[in-house]
Amino acid sequence: MAKSMMHEKGLPKIFWAEAVYTAVYLSNRCPTTAIPNKTPFEAWSGRRPSVNHLKVFGSICYSQIPKEKRSKLDESSERCIFVGYSTMSKGYRLFNLQLGQVIISRDVQVDENALWNWEENKVEKKDILISTDKEDEIEPNTPDSSTSQHQ
């Protein structure tokens, strides 16, 4: 799971430990055949895990800078990469691109369709196409609907 998460967002190997840690965190909140009708988290803690806070690993996010640490004209957020979940608080683990280190923050906006281009040092959007039109559905090939006709 960790390798797939890193590959999907094009993250370098320095994020391997964060990816493994996040994969374990997610696995503990997923059903398993080893524990019928429960997640490992539920079996351990006795309560169902919340999944409302889950985000896409490696996504671009913006961490709010507290008002005490900035002036009125300073930026109100810092661009980061989402790398996991804090065990010490109800916060997220974020790789701060300016500082080059992992920070913990609760006030985060995550853009799950964006990723960081490490070669060009810029954000890239990943387009997700979802069709809801019936016209876009593929019809099965039948002899009547075949486009090649033999004469």
Query: Greater confidence, 58 or 32?
Result: 58
> Tokens 């002899």 correspond to what residue?
143
Residue 142 DSSP one-character state: -
Residue percentage of the chain with pLDDT more than 90: 32
In whole angstroms, what is the distance from residue 40 CA to residue 11 CA?
28
Cα–Cα distance for residue pair 64/48, rounded to 1 Å = 29
The answer to whether 3 and 19 have CB atoms below 8 angstroms apart is: yes
Average pLDDT over residues 56-75: 89
Rg (CA), the chain: 21
pLDDT in tens, 85-134: 998 889 999 999 999 999 999 999 998 887 777 766 677 776 655 555 55
Which of these, 36, 39, 15, 19, lies nearest to 27 by C-alpha position? 39
Q: pLDDT tens, 5-29?
A: 888 888 889 999 999 999 999 988 8
Share of the chain above pLDDT 70, in %: 81
Q: 75 and 57 in contact (C-beta within 8 Å)?
A: no
